[in-house]
């Protein structure tokens, strides 16, 4: 007899048939009621054991975390809270779980910190089961969105010789020994003797390679892991995170904003339509968590309301210059409540400023665009009407409530001469990026793209507050367990 998933049992249209369920025991009450979960849904199926006819030896082994198989009759439940239950006829312990040792005990409500240290077991909780199912559905929605629109999925390399963002936050990849490292005459590491015969690192972004594909296939997207060795120990940064990077030939910045907004709304709607039980549970979790916070720090909207709000309202599009004016005149700036006071045009925005704009001023997702050239990456297109001394580029960042920056993107500098000049000014190796420059040498055209940090999206949709809780095995400074 094949076993049936708990989700299908709970959605069953007939009763009284004999069924087999397999899963892990969540709780066992009164020597009689097992709450069984198999990960297919947040909901458990109740299995009622005939304890009088079950040996004590077996009953003792029905402990939280144990894997079991039950065969029994699916019946309508008399108890409140569930439609169906299984009247157990045969119970088999597949794998014991020592009640004294199993770390995830529902009764003592383990802290998120404790669960992070037990990332291999935390997925056995309702919370992490829900988060990881939502994460999976969201990644399917990403592919669905782009595939339906005819975008080509491109796998850009993970090991690369280039620094796409020019920010120097890369993890080196080398097969050289650390002792007796081969050196050049001037004492530098001789990468000619390394595996790739050059210096290589883990990619910080697939954009540059993606651009070359967009300039042939028209519309492409990447969806893969990216790595940043920035030492930001925050609740929004990971050293290894997943990024989605669409790139579209002939799109300008406005098209790029339209695409990003439509895409984000689509994937959120997809999650709302396909993860109802999990999102309802996560909404309850958030309400619970916020009970312990002062009123002023609680969210104004419950999770589902917040997600629907994003679907129903256009993102507010605001230029960097307008944003600086708003920030300069804001109460926290005047009262010196910001850690970084905004005095003049050109200042880089910190997350405190981004969150003020989104959460206090506009109270909706915001797309900031036309940033000062010198705080953005080399590949962004210089604005035509730019004033000298106030050069701006066709960049955009999308800011979300509770998250800050969720998307960064731009129209690209398609003019060879302008791009070369910019690279010279920033001392970016033209030789190393010669292949990239070929897109501008041969058949260059306007194009644009963006990167969405997948974990930041999952954070937003699940209402979690720490990015370490929305990726199975987080990598952060000082932590690479598992
Ligand atoms: O703004 P970023 O650095 O942009 C790029 O990498 C461009 N090449 C994208 C493009 O135009 N194709 O990163 C894009 C997004 C951010 O907005 C943020 O959501 C996420 O990636 N991100 C991180 N997420 C988690 N941990 C980190 N350390 C992140 N750094 C960036
Ligand atoms: Mg950015």
Given the CA of residue 467, which atom of ligand 1 is nearest to it? Answer: 25
- Distance from residue 358's CA to the centre of ligand 1 (Å): 18
Query: How far does the centroid of ligand 2 lie from the alpha carbon of residue 477, in Å?
Result: 19
Closest protein CA for atom 30 of ligand 1: 237
Report the C-alpha gap between 352 and 400 in whole angstroms. 12
The CATH homologous superfamily for domain 126-169+204-469 is: Bira Bifunctional Protein; Domain 2 (3.30.930.10)
Ligand closest to CA 470: 1
| Residue 455 CA to ligand 2 centre (angstroms) | 14
Measured in Å, residue 397 CA sits from the centre of ligand 2 at 7
Segment-wise mean pLDDT, segments of 10 residues, the chain, 482 residues: 95 91 96 96 96 93 97 90 92 95 86 95 96 98 98 98 85 95 94 96 97 98 96 93 98 98 98 98 95 85 96 96 96 95 94 93 96 96 87 97 95 98 94 96 98 98 97 96 94
Ligand 1 centre to CA of 405 (Å) is 8
Return the structure tokens found at 371: 């940033």
pLDDT at 176: 96
Position in ligand 1 atom list of the atom nearest CA 230: 28
Quote the pLDDT of residue 433.
Answer: 94
> Which residues' Cβ are closer than 6 Å to ligand 1?
164-165, 205, 207, 228, 230, 237-238, 241, 243, 245, 405-410, 449-451, 453, 455-456
- Closest ligand 1 atom to Cα of 408: 1
Short-list 15, 454, 423, 412, CA closest to 252: 412
Question: In this predicted structure, what is the pLDDT of residue 206?
Answer: 97
In the sheet with 172-173, reading across from the earlier edge strand, the strands are 159-160, 200-202, 172-173
pLDDT at 166: 79
Pocket mutation for ligand 1, best pick of 453, 469, 471, 475 (most atoms within 8 Å of C-beta): 453
The whole-number pLDDT of residue 80 equals 79
Residue 283's pLDDT is what? 98
Q: How far is CA 120 from CA 114, 117, 177, 245, in A?
A: 12, 8, 32, 29
Superfamily of domain 6-102: Nucleic acid-binding proteins (2.40.50.140)
**In the numeric block, which tokens belong to residue 227?**
């790595």
Where in the chain are the domains?
6-102, 126-169+204-469
**Residue 277 has what pLDDT?**
97
Per-residue tokens: 165: 């963002």
């Amino acid at each position: 007899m094949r076993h049936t998933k708990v989700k299908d049992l709970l959605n069953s249209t007939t009763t009284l048939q004999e069924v087999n369920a397999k899963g892990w025991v969540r709780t066992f009450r009164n020597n009689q009621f097992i709450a069984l979960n198999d990960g297919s849904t947040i909901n458990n199926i109740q299995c009622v054991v005939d304890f009088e006819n079950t040996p004590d030896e077996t009953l003792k082994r029905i402990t939280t975390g144990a894997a079991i198989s039950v065969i029994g009759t699916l019946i309508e439940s008399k108890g409140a809270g569930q439609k169906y239950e299984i009247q157990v006829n045969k119970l088999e312990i597949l794998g014991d779980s020592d009640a004294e040792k199993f770390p995830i005990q529902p009764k003592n409500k383990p802290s998120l910190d404790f669960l992070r240290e037990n990332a291999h077991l935390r997925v056995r909780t309702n919370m992490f089961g829900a988060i990881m199912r939502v994460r999976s559905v969201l990644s399917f929605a990403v592919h669905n969105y782009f595939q339906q629109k005819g975008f080509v999925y491109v796998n850009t390399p993970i090991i690369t010789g280039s620094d796409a963002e020019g920010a120097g936050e890369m993890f080196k990849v080398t097969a050289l020994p650390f002792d007796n490292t081969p050196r050049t005459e001037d004492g530098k590491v001789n990468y000619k003797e390394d595996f790739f015969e050059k210096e290589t690192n883990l990619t910080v972004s697939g954009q540059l390679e993606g651009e070359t594909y967009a300039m042939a296939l028209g519309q492409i997207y990447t969806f893969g892991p990216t790595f940043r060795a920035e030492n930001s120990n925050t609740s929004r940064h990971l050293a290894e995170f997943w990024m989605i990077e669409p790139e579209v030939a002939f799109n300008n910045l406005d098209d790029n904003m339209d695409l990003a907004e439509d895409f984000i709304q689509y994937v959120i709607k997809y999650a709302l339509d396909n993860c109802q039980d999990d999102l309802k549970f996560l909404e309850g979790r958030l309400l619970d968590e916020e009970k312990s916070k002062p009123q002023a720090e609680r969210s104004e909207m419950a999770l589902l309301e917040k997600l629907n709000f994003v679907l129903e309202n256009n993102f507010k599009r605001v230029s960097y210059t307008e944003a600086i004016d708003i920030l300069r005149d804001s109460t926290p700036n005047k009262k010196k409540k910001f850690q970084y006071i905004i005095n003049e045009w050109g200042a880089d925005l910190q997350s405190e400023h981004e969150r003020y704009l989104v959460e206090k001023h506009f109270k909706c997702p915001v797309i900031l665009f036309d940033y000062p050239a010198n705080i953005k990456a080399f590949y962004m297109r210089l604005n035509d009407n730019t004033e000298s001394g106030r050069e701006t580029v066709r960049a955009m960042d999308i800011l979300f409530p509770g998250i800050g920056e969720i998307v960064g993107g731009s129209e690209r500098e398609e003019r060879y001469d302008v791009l070369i000049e910019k690279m010279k000014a920033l001392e970016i190796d033209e030789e190393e990026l010669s292949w990239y420059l070929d897109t501008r040498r041969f058949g260059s055209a306007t194009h644009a793209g963006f990167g969405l940090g997948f974990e930041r999206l999952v954070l937003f949709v699940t209402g979690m507050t720490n990015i370490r809780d929305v990726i199975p095995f987080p990598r952060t400074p000082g932590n690479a367990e598992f």
